[in-house]
Amino acid sequence: MSAILNLDGKVAVITGAASGIGRQTATLFHALGARLLLTDIDTAGLEAFAAELGGDVLTATHDVTSADAWHAVFGQAGAAFGRLDILVNNAGIMMSKPFADAGIDILRRQMAINVEGIYMGMQGALPLMRAAIATGAGTTSIVNISSVYGKVGGAQFAAYSATKGAVRGLGKAVAIELAGTGIRVNTVLPGPVATNLGANWDPPTDADGNPLTPEAALAAWTKLIPMGRLGDANDIAPLIAFLASDAADFITGSEFIADGGYTAA
């Protein structure tokens, strides 16, 4: 893999890096030689992970809904590296609620994290990415994490589906606007992945309105996946690394689904 995916010397900011897809992406980027600034709202988890990685890894406590927090993150990256080659907008939240019972606060909270956070992240990254391009080091890359529920409907995930669909449209529009500038923007749509993204769900319900345990909900999802298993963060991180690398130099405005065949069935 390292012979194909080379991130040696690249500077990357990865949000939501304390767990799940963000953590595995950071692990792979580190192995591929990237210099990292990892962010998460979970300070303790992030610091423990960075200590495990070792080496020159920077961290920042980061609420992606805060413009001031984004400003601080890019200020830290600029002071430490003077440039930015890669931004992985991974931080997100997934909330389950039957639509009839889902107040507007359910939509607004997910919109703030899943969409506004990505919007501010992409805007804030531009000056440092332009600085990287000015060094002649190749194209820079923004990778936004959406979901297959931004492509197909998810029962009891109406608000989440709305936000992840917005991520897709946002990424395409920005990619077109920046095409030819050296800044690429692509979107990854994971299928059901065994992470803690939905750890704070209200319990999904069956057709009779009875609550399902998270295990039962995941088992039901698994039956819908042609490959017969849930995804893993290890299934998604290499795709992100590819899009971040110069191997994807001619790819922008594209979407990549990794779902074990879920949306093909």
Residues annotated as part of the active site: 160
Residue 36 CB burial class (10 angstroms; 0-12, 13-18, ≥19): buried
Q: Are the beta carbons of 243 and 186 closer than 8 angstroms?
A: yes
Residue matched to tokens 């440092």: 128
Residue matched to tokens 């689904």: 257
Q: Which amino acid is at 78?
A: G
Tokens of 165: 């669909």
CA angle 180, 183, 186 (to 5 degrees): 105
Q: Residue 60: in which H helix or E strand, if any?
A: strand 57-61
Calpha distance 116→74 (Å, rounded)? 16
Exposed e or buried b per residue across 149-174, where buried means at least 16 C-beta atoms within 10 angstroms of its C-beta? bbbeebebbbbbbbbbbbbbebbbeb
